[in-house]
Amino acid sequence: MPSIWENIWDFVRAFCMRHQRSLLSLLRCALVVSLVAMALEAFVFNHNYFASADFKPISLDARIGLSQADDGTYKITEVDHVLEFSNLNTKVHNVRLDFDEKQPAQLLDVKIQFTDEAHHTYFDSTEYTVGVPTVKVATNSLQSQYINLNTTGLVGSLRIEIGGEDVSYPIKLAGVSINVQHPFDFNTMRFWCVVGILALVYVFRPHSSIYRCFMTERPRKSKLVIVAAVLIEVYLMASFLFLGSNLVGVATSRYNSGSWIPGSVVTTFDVGGENAQQYAELAKAMTKGQLYLDEEPPQWLKDMDDPYDKGARDEAQKATGEPYLFDVAYYEGHYYVYFGVVPVLVFYLPFYVLTGANFPTAIGVLVSCIAFVLGCSVLLDRFARYHFKRVSLGLYLLLQIPLVTCCGILYLLKFPTFYSLPIMMGLAFSVWGLYFWMRGRMAASPGRWYLLGSLCMALVVGCRPQFVVLSFLAFPLFWRLFITNRHILTPKGAREFACLLAPYAVVAAGLMWYNRARFGSFADFGANYNLTVNDMTKRGFAIGRLAPALFAYFVQPPSVAGVFPYLQAVPFDTTYMGQTIKEATFGGVLACLPLLWVLPFSRRILKMRIAQRSTRTIAGVIVVLLSAGIAVALLDAEVAGILQRYFADFSFMFLAAAVLLVFIVNENLDPSSQTYGLLIRCLIALVALSVAYSALLCFVPETGWLSDAYPWAYQDIVVETAQFWT
């Protein structure tokens, strides 16, 4: 009897024999892509190595003029942090600042000035010119310590100022050299990024065979490729989340090792400060049979006439010296968590009961992200296979990638905090709820699918209530079945309809009890009692807040610069003569996600669909998605403000509508026609721009992220990898 390994080997051999030509073609493509990426890494990204090959290094150590430590290094202090070298009278192509690698890592600002044949004095920025910019140098990054200069002729004097904000002195400098040969650096991460980009270019080229592989005709092949694509997406998203190690809250012997407890496999620890632990604190409180947090509010807060006035709170805190918890609900002498309770019940409470430790929020965000990507992919697959006949594998992937990467979840992964978790869970529950509903519509026994779908859609209210608007998709999905065809009047139809409604009733009852137990009202979720930057009890509805919010959320162009990562926070002005809640944002979805440029043609495309089909399901779904997206954006603006993470509340709805509109257009084109080829070319361009924007947004330096917590790591891992020419 053959062993398991022999059976596996026989299967692999038979598979390879059956698909020999395809595998050989795939192998050739992989080889070509790898060789091109290797050539780019060696000769383009390392052009400084070849450009400096004939440089004659000159050491300036003897002219540094700083005091030396016992180990021979020079000490840069807060008082003495300027190096000046006169009478060089030589060409200077670059400067090497050799910092002692044994000292704690820091990111330094280095300001270089020089005199040359075009400048007999040091020059700087003026009204009409820009001088030599300040550069960032990480003491632990070899690549950043080589600084190219663009001088004219012979350099006379060279001035180097080393410092920056929050710099810890003294800084140890091992030496300074000019005209140094740049070392060869084969950056593995950059190599694989280029491999991935080249592979995408090859796979999605206009004449690729994936646009001729139709999902209804090749179900097994298409599913296999989709699974592979989803696995790659999940891997990349997980890698990005773990890149921001300061927000993850888990440690091993090799990752966040400073917080690792020797002998354990994985150690969990709190991140983000005391305010970030409110979900974990609620889980602890629940084990004691209470719904308010253990921490006792200060007496001055209890004595205040209006504890929701931030200015008054800050004055009282300053006078007493007693701190209070920020961004929690305060009601009748207790702190409460106003965020949805479902994340606590799913993650924090079971984890605390089993381990006695606080659940790491970032892991919950990642798990929810994976669930969303999987659910989004199967939901899109369901639409592509059962509501359209001519969706190719290429078109599916071309639209699935921006659907899961441009809907705001990458920004939630960038900041995997308790603010992001309910949004991510709401998205995950929504797509799986819609998928189960779609499965039920074509199932012989749909009741169980309806129960699962409605349970997911109802749990959304306990995560992120804004997503409850997606429940209105039930109208286009089920109206014809239950109302037009009067299926609801039959015993079977009545049972199925009950399966749709029952989970909502159960979840609503639980949430209403939860609200009543905390705030004495079935419908009060506690958001108005939030101790935040404004008084939520008096925020109300102001139509003047809508215009700036609509501009910021939808049509504001991105603000770009010529330095990686190119995107920067957009300016914000308003004529609303009141308080506007606004954090840094980076442009509106319609301006920054070109894939959404198909939305202005919605009416014309929907007429095309309605003229060809007797049913209105897809048209109704698109109308509800667009209406829901606009409603949620307006609701966010009125209730909370304008924040980048809120883009995830509605971006998915617009992207999903755009995807379905493209499916409709595709259905009406001949795959062999020039018009179809033009559609594919346009889509490739729109998708590439949309994904590029979303990817670059991931690496914009922001407070609280890796670039702020470990700026030297950000400089070494991200900036030096991207800005290879400096």
pLDDT digits (tens, 9 = 90+) for 271-299: 987 778 999 999 999 999 999 999 999 99
* Same domain? 538 vs 413: yes
Helix (H, G, I), strand (E, B) or coil at 455: helix
Cis peptide bond upstream of 2, omega within 30: no
Q: What is the mean pLDDT of the chain?
A: 92
Phi first, then psi, for residue 59 (nearest 5°) are -85, 135
In a domain, 527, yes or no: yes
In the predicted model, what is the mean pLDDT of residues 672-698? 94
In a domain, 191, yes or no: no
pLDDT in tens, 406-465: 999 999 999 999 999 999 999 999 999 999 999 999 898 999 999 999 999 999 999 999
* Same domain? 351 vs 365: no
* Same domain? 123 vs 138: yes
Give the whole-angstrom CA distance, residue 315 versus residue 317: 5
In a domain, 233, yes or no: yes
* Same domain? 30 vs 167: no
Nearest C-alpha neighbor of 230 from the set 434, 401, 385: 401
* Same domain? 574 vs 658: yes
Answer whether 172's CB lies under 8 Å from 99's CB. Answer: yes
Residue that finishes a domain, picked among 334, 355, 376: 355
Which pLDDT does position 608 carry in this prediction? Answer: 87
Answer whether 720's CB lies under 8 Å from 699's CB. Answer: no
- Tell me, what amino acid is at 638? E
Distances from the Cα of 254 to the Cα of 88, 385, 498, 594, 706, angstroms: 46, 44, 52, 41, 17
What is the chain's Cα-based Rg? Answer: 30
In a domain, 600, yes or no: yes
* Same domain? 154 vs 258: no
Give the whole-angstrom CA distance, residue 386 versus residue 480: 17
Residue 632 has a CB neighbour count (10 Å cut-off) of 22
Domain of 321?
249-355
The pair of structure tokens assigned to 649 is 């509340």
pLDDT in tens, 595-645: 999 999 999 999 988 887 767 889 999 999 999 999 999 999 988 899 999
Give the whole-angstrom CA distance, residue 373 versus residue 400: 9
Which pLDDT does position 71 carry in this prediction? Answer: 85
Give the whole-angstrom CA distance, residue 551 versus residue 645: 16
* Same domain? 350 vs 366: no
* Same domain? 330 vs 371: no
Answer whether 108's CB lies under 8 Å from 716's CB. Answer: no
Which pLDDT does position 3 carry in this prediction? Answer: 64
Which pLDDT does position 340 carry in this prediction? Answer: 92
Nearest C-alpha neighbor of 84 from the set 162, 147, 151, 159: 159
| Beta-bridge partner residues of 58 | 178
Reported confidence tier of residue 488, pLDDT bands at 50, 70, 90: very high
Residue that finishes a domain, picked among 178, 213, 229: 178
In the predicted model, what is the mean pLDDT of residues 157-186? 92
* Same domain? 237 vs 324: no
Cis peptide bond upstream of 565, omega within 30: yes
Reported confidence tier of residue 250, pLDDT bands at 50, 70, 90: very high
The pair of structure tokens assigned to 119 is 């400048």
In the predicted model, what is the mean pLDDT of residues 517-526? 88
Residue 241's Cβ-count burial label (10 Å; 0-12, 13-18, 19+) is buried
pTM: 0.93
Give the whole-angstrom CA distance, residue 460 versus residue 456: 7
Give the whole-angstrom CA distance, residue 668 versus residue 15: 36
pLDDT in tens, 350-369: 999 999 999 999 999 999 99
Nearest C-alpha neighbor of 373 from the set 395, 347, 406: 406
pLDDT in tens, 134-150: 999 999 999 999 999 99
In the predicted model, what is the mean pLDDT of residues 687-692? 97
pLDDT at position 5 over 80: no
Helix (H, G, I), strand (E, B) or coil at 595: helix
Residue 643 has a CB neighbour count (10 Å cut-off) of 18
| Residues in contact with 483: Cβ distance below 8 Å, sequence separation at least 6, in sequence order | none
pLDDT at position 4 over 70: no
* Same domain? 425 vs 390: yes
Q: Is the dihedral of CA 64, 69, 72, 78 positive or negative?
A: negative
181: alpha, beta or left? (left if phi > 0; alpha if psi -120 to 50): beta
CA 313, chain centre distance (Å)? 34
Which pLDDT does position 164 carry in this prediction? Answer: 86
* Same domain? 471 vs 515: yes
Give the whole-angstrom CA distance, residue 318 versus residue 329: 21
Which pLDDT does position 537 carry in this prediction? Answer: 74
Work out how many domains the chain is built from and give that number: 4
Helix (H, G, I), strand (E, B) or coil at 155: strand
Answer whether 409's CB lies under 8 Å from 241's CB. Answer: no
pLDDT at position 476 over 90: yes
In a domain, 89, yes or no: yes
pLDDT at position 1 over 60: no
Which pLDDT does position 576 carry in this prediction? Answer: 85
Which pLDDT does position 15 carry in this prediction? Answer: 62
Cis peptide bond upstream of 170, omega within 30: yes
In a domain, 657, yes or no: yes
What is the percent of the chain where pLDDT is above 70? 97
DSSP 8-state assignment for residue 184: P
pLDDT in tens, 50-80: 999 999 999 999 899 888 888 889 999 999 9
Give the whole-angstrom CA distance, residue 288 versus residue 102: 49
- Pick from 96-100, 242-246, 542-546: least confident: 542-546
| Beta-bridge partner residues of 116 | 119
In a domain, 188, yes or no: no
Helix (H, G, I), strand (E, B) or coil at 330: strand
Residue that finishes a domain, picked among 327, 355, 383: 355
Q: Is the dihedral of CA 109, 189, 565, 415 positive or negative?
A: negative
DSSP 8-state assignment for residue 465: G
CATH of the domain at 157: 2.60.120.260
In a domain, 199, yes or no: no
| Residues in contact with 522: Cβ distance below 8 Å, sequence separation at least 6, in sequence order | 512, 513, 515, 516
The pair of structure tokens assigned to 550 is 């609509």
Reported confidence tier of residue 6, pLDDT bands at 50, 70, 90: low
Higher per-residue pLDDT: 576 or 476: 476
DSSP 8-state assignment for residue 362: H
* Same domain? 20 vs 90: no
Cα-Cα-Cα-Cα torsion 507, 510, 516, 517, nearest 10 degrees, comes to: -150
- Tell me, what amino acid is at 274? E
